[in-house]
Amino acid sequence: MTFLEKSRGAFIVLEGCDRSGKSTQVKLLVNRLEQLGHNVMLWKFPERKTQIGSMIDEYLKNVKDVDDKAIHLLFSANRWECMSEMKKKLLDGITLVVDRYAYSGAAYSAAKGLDLEWCKSPDIGLLTPDIVFFMNLTSEEAEKRFGFGNERYEEKAFQEKVRNIFNFLKDPTWKVLNACRAVEKLHKEIERLSLKTIQKCSNLPLKED
Ligand code: T5A
Ligand code: NA
């Protein structure tokens, strides 16, 4: 645990299956918090700009095949390589709004048949989010959203498995949201709960798993 001399930022995560509206909501939330005068930054996993991230990008775009366990460890390493920078920002009072995190890591790899506990283990010790908004979307609604794209994993049966595994990963930091609602409605709820979280956690120490 790191004890605080000044107030810290909140660690806010959005999770969910493909097309559940995470990126849309992350952007709206960051803009709104900025408008309200908060110190805030958008973050995203995979972070495709690093060397590890570019290997992940090639894998997701089907340019390269990588062994299931090896790619799993790369997704985790991609989070680890960002940890010290994220921690520094949070302790500097910057709120991080993060598009996907370790829950995606475990859910997508376990959906391929890898052991769930094995999948969770490389992420042990990462910073714990203060709140996780889980964007809960029916598969029917997901399909309506422009159909699935060309990236790996964007396929109905696979997404169904991912959704089921996400359900196992739910913990007390989660707030499950009905993601079938209109963008603006969801945004208002996420804004309200985020403001509460920012206030509540500003004097609490950061948690590591
Ligand atoms: N992955 C990721 C792993 O396997 N392991 C890991 O450790 C991690 C971190 C790429 C893949 O990597 C896997 C999971 C993924 O398969 P990504 O880069 O986050 O991950 O994926 P993206 O393709 O960028 O994003 P998604 O497909 O997940 O979409 P979003 O961000 O959930 O949805 P968004 O906001 O882009 O919206 C999708 C469409 O729906 C519309 C939008 O306009 C858009 O067209 N929409 C709505 N329509 C109606 N009502 C609403 N409320 C709407 N909200 C958005
Ligand atoms: Na996205």
pLDDT in tens, the chain (209 residues): 555 668 999 999 999 999 999 999 999 999 999 999 999 999 999 999 999 999 999 999 999 999 999 999 999 999 999 999 999 999 999 999 999 999 999 999 999 999 999 999 999 999 999 999 999 998 888 878 866 567 888 888 899 999 999 999 999 999 999 999 999 999 999 999 999 999 999 999 999 87
Q: Per the domain annotation, does 2 fall within a domain?
A: no
Instruction: Quote ipTM for the complex.
Output: 0.97
Beta strands in the chain (DSSP E): 11-16, 40-44, 95-99, 131-136, 174-178
CB 122 less than 6 A from any atom of ligand 1: no
Q: Is the minimum distance from the CB of 56 to ligand 1 under 6 angstroms?
A: no
Residue 209 is assigned to a structural domain of this protein: no
Does any ligand 1 atom lie closer than 6 A to the CB of residue 22?
yes
| Containing structural domain, residue 109 | 11-201
Is residue 55 domain-resident?
yes
Q: Which tokens in the block code for residue 84?
A: 């010290």
Within-domain flag for 43: yes
Question: One-letter amino acid identity for 201?
Answer: C
DSSP states of 44-56 as a string?
ESS-TTSHHHHHH
Domain-embedded: residue 179: yes
Helices (H), 128-181: 139-144, 156-169
Residue 208 lies in a domain: no
CATH number of the structural domain spanning residue 89: 3.40.50.300
**Domain presence at residue 156:** yes
- How many structural domains are present in the chain? 1
Residue whose pair of structure tokens reads 């499950």 in the numeric block? 176
